[in-house]
Structure 1
């Protein structure tokens, strides 16, 4: 593998070195990370090795994933394809050692720190939902009490199990 870098004459403005790579360099980087998720564990620090072993095992059925540590609090999950990334996002919630994993899709220019999470997706189980409220519009109203309702899971949609409903909300 060729690890050599190329030299580009730096631009100096008022005595300060300014880095201005061309658009194609940015586009290459965006393509490289476009199938990545950024996450952190709510309320608990989980060792990198444990996160890597648990989640690679859980997610490998959808494709390859690389687990990368960010700042010892955040993790990057780099997937082989967008389908695997989307399946992980839509099949949560995910937990390791009893700690909930907050996930969001990587975006160009985002900070890789926990502070970049101004909101998170949360799967919520609602118990004792009356049968007359077991509709998408009614569950939307119920979920509004906790956040912005986004979707319900397949079991809730089918209505085959009325012991609880599962709703994904933006919090």
Structure 2
């Protein structure tokens, strides 16, 4: 029997250090919360939302490496709120060395929460932020809230971690008493029983598809 060996090498060159510093300053990983996307769709979305000067590298397991034009631009993207396509959010993770997309999974995603019948005296950004931060982490409220004629519901976007589940309601206390506000999550994401990823059913999972041809055709779509 042939013995399998692992050969160890050490890399400590100035070029490697420069590459690490560059990626740390400008790069981040991105994955859509839905099914895997073809490069062309990611390229089109990035061009429309952020501009055509972002460099994109395709990784495995549905991940992409995004390289910004500057450190300031990366910071603006990483901390400027949520990013969605077709109602489903993008998972964005800061660049780290030795990142293995085969082992990585979606940890947090942006989701919209509807607050039906919220009394109008609570329709304030600071109240929305308190609610969002209590649930997980507030990102923003609906940009058109102040211009809406209808006050049937308000919308806030939060960063949500799939576990634990969000509560069904939250109590808002004030000097005038308290209000029990029910919560409705838009675009509730399902978890695939096969690959354990959020965003698609097992029947739609490409990872469980048998035959490389099926996967290749789906990616090229």
- RMSD over equivalenced CA pairs, Å: 3.3
Task: Kindly state the Cα deviation for residue 111 of structure 1 after the two structures are TM-superposed.
Answer: 2.5
- Residue in 1 that maps onto 2:136: 148
- Tell me the SS of whatever aligns to 1:104: strand
Q: Which runs of 5+ in 2 are unaligned?
A: 162-221
Contact kept in structure 1, 2:128 and 2:141, CA below 8 Å: no
Q: Would the aligned equivalents of 1:39 and 1:74 in 2 still touch at CA under 8 Å?
A: yes
Which residue number corresponds to residue 30 of structure 1?
20
Q: Report what 2:69 is aligned to.
A: 80
Distance 2:13 2:136 in 1: 36
CA distance in 2 between partners of 1:78 and 1:16 (Å) = 32
Q: Say whether 1:122 aligns with 2:110.
A: yes
- The equivalent of 2:217 in structure 1 is none
Aligned to 1:102, what secondary structure does the other structure show? strand
Q: Any stretches of 5+ residues in structure 1 without a counterpart?
A: 1-14
Asked if structure 2 preserves the Cα contact closer than 8 Å seen for 1:143 and 1:149, the reply is yes
Task: Tell me how many residue pairs correspond in the alignment.
Answer: 150
Distance 1:81 1:148, change over 3 A: same
Taking structure 2 as the reference length, the TM-score comes to 0.53
